[in-house]
Structure 1
C-alpha cells in the first residue's frame, strides 16, 4: 500500500522522481509548492491504478482502496499548502512551521486516516457477522395475547349521562355586545337650547364626558342642524375645536324683527 503511493514516479516540469521525494522537498522548503502541477500528479496516479491487477473473488479487477485513501490524504495536504501560499494572510500560519513540524502535521493526518480506516474495517466485519441475524417487527407468535376486559359498568350512570347530553344548552345572551344609540333628536334639542342661551359654543367642550357612541350621535345631530341651515360651523385647522354658532341669515332675520 505504502509503496504504491510513495514510489509513484512523477515527470513534472519542476520535478522528476518519486512522490515521496517530492513531499520531502516541499516540507524542507527546497521546492516551491506553486511550481507543482497537482493535476499532473492526479493523472499519474490514475494511470498507475489503471494497470492490470489481480482479479477478485467475483472475477472483477480490484482497486487498491488503501492506496487511494493514502493518496487522497497526501494530495489534500499538498493542495492545502499550495492554496495557503496563494494568499499572504493565510500563509502566515504555515510560514511559522518548521519542516519537522510540517512533517509531523502530515504524519498526524495519515494517522487519523488510518484510524478512520480501521474503524470502517471494524464496522464492515461487524456487519458481516450480523448478516445471519433477523429481527421481527411485530410481537412473537407464541406470546400470550392480552385479554381486553371492560371495567364494571353502571347502566343508571350511563343513562344519566345520556339524558344530560340530550338537554339543549342554554341560549347564550349577546345583550352585552349590543350597542345602544341615543336618539339624534335628543342632541338636536340640546344644541338648540344651548344656542338660545349663547351665540357660539365649542362642540368638543359640549360633548366632553360622553361615550364615543354618544359623541358620534351628537356629531350627526350637528350635521343635521347644519344641513337645515340652523347653525354655522367653523374650524381653524384640521383637528382643531369646532365652533358652532347660529346661522348668519337667522341672526339677520331676528335683528330685522327686533328693529321693526
Structure 2
C-alpha cells in the first residue's frame, strides 16, 4: 500500500489460490463475446491457472487522506460539526474505527494516527474533569483550543493548495506550441551601421585632401542648393553609390556642405541610405512613397 492514507475495502484475493487448489474457476472465458485482455498484442480469452494476484492489487480506494489532521477535518466537515465546539466522543469513536482498519494493514502507517487518537482521548478525559481556575483567577483554557487552532490552520493551507492546483499548469492543462513562420519574400536590406558610415566618410575626406588648390577664393555654399542637386541627381537614377554623390576635386568645404545636405535629406525622410549586405557598398536612393 502506498504512503497515502486511505479508507479501503477488499475484494476476495484468493481466487487464483482456489484455482490452484483444484476448485472450479469462475472467471469467464470471454467478456461480451470479446477477449477481456491483450498480452503482447495477442487476445487473451482465459486467465492462466498459475496467475498470482497480490492482495494489494484488489484494493478499492474510497477516500484518501494526507495525514491525521486531514482525516479529523474530514470527519468534522462531513457531519457538519462546529469546528469550534467539536463533539469529542463521536469524533474519537469514528477516528478509532478508521485507525483499527489501517492498523491491520500497515502498522507503521497507523502510528501517526494512533498518536492523534491518544491526543483526542486525552482531550476528552480533560473535558470530563472538573474545571479548575488558574492562579490568576481566570478560567482555564478549553482543552480543545489547541486542536481547533491546528485544524483551522491546516484547513486554510489545504484550501490555498487547492486554489493553486486549480490554476492552469504547463504540461497538465496546456502545452507550449512553437510555430515556424517563413520569412517575408520582400528583401530586407541590412541597417547601415554608424561605424560603416564613418569609415566611408573618412575615405571621402582622405581623397578630398589629396586635391589642393593654391588659389584663395571665397565661395558661398548653400545647403539647400546641394539638397536640390542631390534630389535632382537621384531622380535620374534608381540607386547612386554614396561616394559618387561627392566631388573631391571641389575641395573639403564643398564636400562637407554636400554631406550636411545629404544628412538633412535623410533626416526629412526624402532619401534612403541602404546596403545590400554586410560590408557591401552603401547606396542612396529616393525614399519610397506609396501612391
TM-score, length basis structure 1: 0.25
> Greater relative contact order (Cα 8 A, min sep 6): structure 1 or 2?
2
More helix by share: 1
Q: Give TM-score scaled by structure 2 length.
A: 0.23
Higher Cα radius of gyration: 1
